[in-house]
Amino acid sequence: LISPCKKFEHPGFTLPALTFYQERVNISCQCANTSCPSDLQVTPTPTDVKKNQVDTRPDTIVLLWMWPFGSKHPLSCDEFNITGCHVTVDKSVYHQAHGVLFHHRDIGNTAMPTEPRPWFQKWIWFNMESPGNSGKIPNLDNSFNLTSGFRLDASMPMPYGSMEQLPSVKESFELPTKTRLICWVVSNWHERLERVKYFTELKQYINLTLYGRAFGKPLNDHDYENLVSSCKFYLSFENSIYKDYITEKLYRPMMLGTLPVVLGPPRENYERLVPPNSFIHVNDFPSPKELVDRLLYLDKNDNEYLKYFEWRKWFTVTRAKFAQEACCRACVYIRNNKGYQVFASINKWYWG
């Protein structure tokens, strides 16, 4: 029962139907591109569920149970042009809330609701960290109704960034002035990490501009943007390699007009989110040496280099707004999908 998704055509690239802006997308189409997780069961509400709490509120209410990592953000859905949603952290609306969103990292240090859930209420498990960076919690199975996060097969997928089609095709685009060749800003350093192994070999063939805590040169947001936009290439190396785990390390350089060199899941995975010719994948080359040869070639051949930015004539890139966006997506989803849903085995689905 999958409805067709609205697709945007662009030479060589079809936008995945993940965007929820303007409510133009029927959310239930999301399984068309991904396979629906088999353990997401959608069945009629069981007859023994007592409808003693009445769902009378005109708005769809989503309660954010805890601020992810304790950091507070705006919660309104106005900027996504979504109306009829009330997103709040006020726990006193618990009995009216249609959705309650829980951030995985903070489950365990925040008390969970103790009062029974109203029959219409859905609990949403939200996680933007990779399985390797997320502690496993034993009792996740059969307690949540929906999942949200970067996994494209989540009930409500939310990648770290998305491409938005421009209102009209642009004739040309401009890149910031380039004064550096390859840059990398990195904090988390460990010899066992794939990206550290790759870098260790790469640096034998080329000098790089290196910043971040790992090199004793941390950068604030502003300096990061100034630096990265001045680089021809940026190493968008993920800290751990998992299906769909493609973070702001890809999207920020794209936004800044810098060509990402990615290390993460396979190329096909990236191609589900961004145009095939908008990045360079380390797996495209037999070894770091050949990658360096290619980058040096592109440095000398502007026309070839600029081809990687053709997408800028059709699209802009935006970054996800974590809790706010997750709550607004949840609101739209819940409004459109009122049936009974239980996500039976989060642990197996997420950690395998």
Annotated active-site positions, please? Answer: 129
Question: Cβ(273)–Cβ(246) under 8 Å?
Answer: yes
The reply to whether 206 sits near ligand NAG by the rule CB under 6 A is yes
Among 3, 41, 142, 226, binds ligand NAG (CB under 6 A): 142
Does 21 help bind ligand NAG (rule: CB under 6 A)? Answer: yes
Q: Given candidates 145, 155, 229, 247, which one binds ligand NAG under the rule CB under 6 A? A: 145
Reported for 72-79, long-range contacts at CB under 8 A and 24+ positions apart, including other chains, are 73/321, 73/322, 73/323, 73/324, 74/324, 75/323, 75/324, 75/327, 76/324, 77/324, 77/327, 77/328, 77/331
Nearest distance from C-beta of residue 338 to ligand NAG, angstroms: 8
Closest separation in Å from C-beta 144 to ligand NAG: 7
Strand duo 340-343 + 40-43: pairing: antiparallel
CB of 236 to ligand NAG, least distance (A): 21
* Torsion, Cα of 50, 53, 54, 59 (10° steps): -120
Question: For 312, which DSSP code?
Answer: G
Q: Which residues contact 9 (CB under 8 A, 6 or more apart)?
A: none
Q: Contact with ligand NAG (CB under 6 A): which of 8, 189, 309, 340? A: 340
Which x/- pattern over 24-63 shows residues binding ligand NAG (rule: CB under 6 A)? -------------------------x--------------
94 binds ligand NAG (CB under 6 A): no
Name the amino acid, one letter, at 314. Answer: W
d(CA 31, CA 296): 41
Task: Decide: is 83 part of the binding site for ligand NAG (CB under 6 A).
Answer: no
**Which listed range, 128-136, 201-209, 221-229, 269-277, lies at the site for ligand NAG (CB under 6 A)?**
201-209
Tokens of 341: 């849903």
- The span from the CA of 11 to the CA of 173, in Å, is 17
For the bound state, the minimum distance from the C-beta of residue 27 to ligand NAG, rounded and expressed in Å, comes to 16
Question: Binding to ligand NAG (CB under 6 A): which residues in 113-132?
Answer: 120, 122
Single out the segment in contact with ligand NAG by CB under 6 A; choices: 62-70, 173-181, 229-237, 338-346: 338-346
Rounded distance, CA 153 to CA 34, Å? 6
Tokens, residue 336 = 């459109």
Which positions from 234 to 253 touch ligand NAG by CB under 6 A, shown as an x/- string?
--------------------
The tally of CA atoms less than 13 A away on the side-chain side of residue 19 is 21
∠ CA 35-36-40, rounded to 5°: 155
Choose the binding region for ligand NAG from 61-69, 139-147, 209-217, 219-227 (rule: CB under 6 A): 139-147
Identified binder of ligand NAG from the candidate list 41, 81, 179, 188, rule CB under 6 A = 81
Smallest separation, CB 269 to ligand NAG (Å): 26
Nearer to ligand NAG, 30 or 155 (CB): 155
Taking contact as CB under 6 A, which single stretch among the options 57-65, 155-163, 203-211, 298-306 is the one that binds ligand NAG? Answer: 203-211
Q: Where are the alpha helices (DSSP H) in the chain?
A: 194-202, 221-229, 248-256, 267-271, 288-300, 302-306, 322-336, 346-351
- What are the residues binding ligand NAG (CB under 6 A)? 21-22, 49, 80-81, 120, 122, 142-143, 145, 205-207, 340-342
